Structure 1
Amino acid sequence: MNEWGSYQIQDFVPFNADVYFRMLARMGETFWPLQMVTAALGVAALVLALRGKARLALVLLVPIWAFVGVAFFAQRYASLNWVGQPLSWVWIAQGILLALFASVGRLTAGRARVFDTGTITGVLIALVGLLMFPLLAPVRDFGWAQAEVFGLHPDPTAVVSLGIFLIALHGWARWLACLVPWLWIILSALTLQVLGAPWWPALVAVAAAVMGGLLGDLRSLNSRT
């Protein structure tokens, strides 16, 4: 126990900021201009969720999660950190889970109410994932082809997905779908803190907002019973 107590967060991050951010940039460079397509899919999934087409929104997310699991975690992140390979299987499993949810209509929500707190929270979170991460590229002196985007990189993919889940799912399905992306953004926030990235608190704020939305859903379910 004393030995474990001597470890700090940075002991579990086996790379420096230059290496990590360069890997993110190369991911964008390699697949350019695919990010234009994936970003459009993210917007489409959000709109579908708001219009009550939750199952179609989830279907659009299935290949995205599988692609990030393989192209990012298995083929790139695993070369920096041994957990990359297990994480790739977790992301692929998340894609399979979303496919199952899409096939069971009763797990999905109906048309979103515009002024519902959960809907507003979900939209804001999704917009953070779609807009904030690409806009960080100039901050890091990267070009647009090197920016983090939904569908290629894990952070914006997880954030956008969390927003959509708050809109498209309800009950235990919402909790289960949010588990993997929520845990990832917590892990990513800790990693970014170690690397000295000033935007890591934004991920913590997203995690807190998602948890608030989930707990609000739980309270509403309890009030009905």
Structure 2
Amino acid sequence: MNEWTSYQLQDFIPFTADVYFRLLERMGETFWPLHLLTLPLGVATLVLALKHRTRLACLLPAPLWAFVAVAFFIQRYAELNWAGGYVGYAFIAQAVLLVVITLTGWGMDNAPRATHPPVAIGIAITLFGLILMPLIMQMLAPLSGGSWYQAEVFGIHADPTAVTTLGLVLIMLRGFALWLAAIIPALWLVISGLTLQVLDSGGAAVLFVVLVIALVGLVWKSIEPKR
């Protein structure tokens, strides 16, 4: 027991900030111009969710979660951290869950979207993951000596994929299905936020703020009367 209490958070992060951000940059370099497909796909998913095309909106992110699982975690991140492969399998589980929800229609929220606070929170989180995160990273990357390829993008990198999906499920789902679909994205934001904190990156605070806002939306939608 005393051995475990002697460990600190940084003992579980076996790489430096330079190595980690170079990994993000390699993902951008390797899969460009896939960005030109994943970003419009994310926007289309948001539009479909707002138009109550919920089944299709649930299905579209599923292959992107599987792609990030294999291309980022299993093939690359696992080289830096032994836990990367397990996280990759969790991302595959999220992809399967989205497909199951699509096929069964379980937990879909068919209530009006307009002027509804949890939905507004979901829209804001989705737009942040799709648009603001890549733009912020693109502006900050040159300051740290990186290229614009370091900008994290939905469907290619893990953080914006998790953030965007949290927003989308907050719009589309309700009840137990909503919480189940939010677990893996939320847990990854915790892990990523702690990792960035150890690496002294300001991105940690951003992820924690997004997570808190998302939890407010989840609780709000869970306790309100069904419309």
TM-score range, shorter chain: over 0.9
Output the TM-score relative to the length of structure 2. Answer: 0.94
Aligned equivalents of 1:9, 1:44: Cα separation in 2: 39
Aligned equivalents of 2:138, 2:21: Cα separation in 1: 10
Out of 197, 202, 205, the residue aligned to residue 206 of structure 2 is: 202
8 Å CA contact 2:122, 2:170 repeated in 1: yes
Letter in 1 for 2:115: F
Q: Percent identity?
A: 50
2:69 pairs with 1:69: yes
Aligned equivalents of 1:192, 1:43: Cα separation in 2: 27
- 1:172-225 Cα deviation digits (max 9, x unpaired): 0000000000000011000001101112111111111111111112212xx56x
Aligned equivalents of 2:114, 2:216: Cα separation in 1: 18
SS in structure 2 of the partner of residue 57 of structure 1 = helix
Q: Tell me by how many angstroms 1:106 deviates.
A: 4.3
Letter in 2 for 1:103: L
SS in structure 2 of the partner of residue 75 of structure 1 = helix
Aligned equivalents of 1:143, 1:48: Cα separation in 2: 33
Aligned equivalents of 2:153, 2:112: Cα separation in 1: 25
Q: 1:98 to 1:117 in 2, by over 3 A?
A: same
Q: Which runs of 4+ in 1 moved over 4 A?
A: none
2:217 pairs with 1:213: yes
2:176 pairs with 1:172: yes
Please list every run of 5 or more consecutive structure 1 residues that lacks an aligned counterpart in the other structure.
none
Kindly report the root-mean-square deviation, in angstroms, between the aligned alpha carbons of the 2 structures. 1.3
- 1:67-112 Cα deviation digits (max 9, x unpaired): 0000000110000000111111111111001100011124211264
Q: 1:123 to 1:90 in 2, by over 3 A?
A: same
Letter in 1 for 2:191: L
Q: 1:219 to 1:152 in 2, by over 3 A?
A: same
Q: Which residue of 2 aligns with 1:149?
A: 153
Aligned equivalents of 2:132, 2:93: Cα separation in 1: 27
Letter in 2 for 1:196: D
8 Å CA contact 1:112, 1:167 repeated in 2: no
Aligned equivalents of 2:41, 2:154: Cα separation in 1: 9
Please list every run of 5 or more consecutive structure 2 residues that lacks an aligned counterpart in the other structure.
none
Letter in 2 for 1:75: Q
Q: Which residue of 1 aligns with 2:191?
A: 187
SS in structure 1 of the partner of residue 60 of structure 2 = helix
8 Å CA contact 1:123, 1:163 repeated in 2: yes
8 Å CA contact 2:174, 2:222 repeated in 1: no
Q: Which residue of 1 aligns with 2:139?
A: 138
Q: Tell me by how many angstroms 1:54 deviates.
A: 1.1
Q: Tell me by how many angstroms 1:130 deviates.
A: 1.1
